[in-house]
Amino acid sequence: MTTSYPATTVWVVVLAIGVLTFAIRFSFLALFEAIERRSSGGRDDSDGTISPRVRAVLRYVPPAVLAALVFPAIVTLEPTVVGTLSNERLLAGTVAAAAAWRTESVLATIGVGMGALWALQVLL
């Protein structure tokens, strides 16, 4: 798939994400002293400036977002269960998930996943 957005739209997206990402990164670095002074008596907790509730939510952002990106990219719903489960990308993705679990390595996951995909394309 290729984008059909014009170049200016792509640049607007790039710059908007860039600026907002910088704001996220800079947020507490910039505000730390102000926050600390206001709440006086700072504790020895390095994360003390983020409320526990917000931290709890942030904890679940990576698994939820990453899974929401991965699952639709490897699972294609077919009319039959067998049809859905025998998709080569789902099978290769399952093998790659095992590799990711064993090695926790991006390189190994890519290698095993692509190897499995190519093997399945030859076999199926």
Partner 1 sequence: MNVPTELRAGIRDVLPLFLGIVPFAVVFGVAAVDAGLTAVQAVGLSVFVFAGAAQLATLELLAANAAVPVVVLTAVVINLRMLMYSASIAPYFRSLAGRSKAVMAYFLTDQAYALSVAHYGPLGEVTTGAPGSDDASDGGHADDADDDAGDADDHPDSGPTTSSLADRRWYYLGVAVSLWVVWQLGTVAGLVLGTGVPESWGLDFTVPLVFLALLVPAMKDVPTTTAGVVGGVVAVAAAGLPLNLGLLVGATVGILAGLLAERGRR
CA distances from 16 to 19, 102, 108 (A): 5, 37, 33
Please identify which residue in 81, 82, 107, 124 interacts with partner 1, judged by CB under 8 A: 107
Residue with Cβ nearer partner 1 (82 or 119): 119
Interaction of residue 86 with partner 1, rule CB under 8 A = no
What would the x/- binding string for partner 1 be over residues 16 to 55, using CB under 8 A?
xxx-xxx-xxxxxxxxxx--x----xxxxxxx-xx---xx
Nearest-approach distance from CB 124 to partner 1, in angstroms: 13
Distance in angstroms (rounded) separating the CA atoms of residues 91 and 116 = 8
How many CB atoms are closer than 10 A to CB 93? 21
Total residue length of the chain: 124
Q: Is 119 near partner 1 (CB under 8 A)?
A: no
Q: Does residue 83 interact with partner 1 by CB under 8 A?
A: no
Nearest alpha-carbon partner for 99 in 90, 111, 117: 111
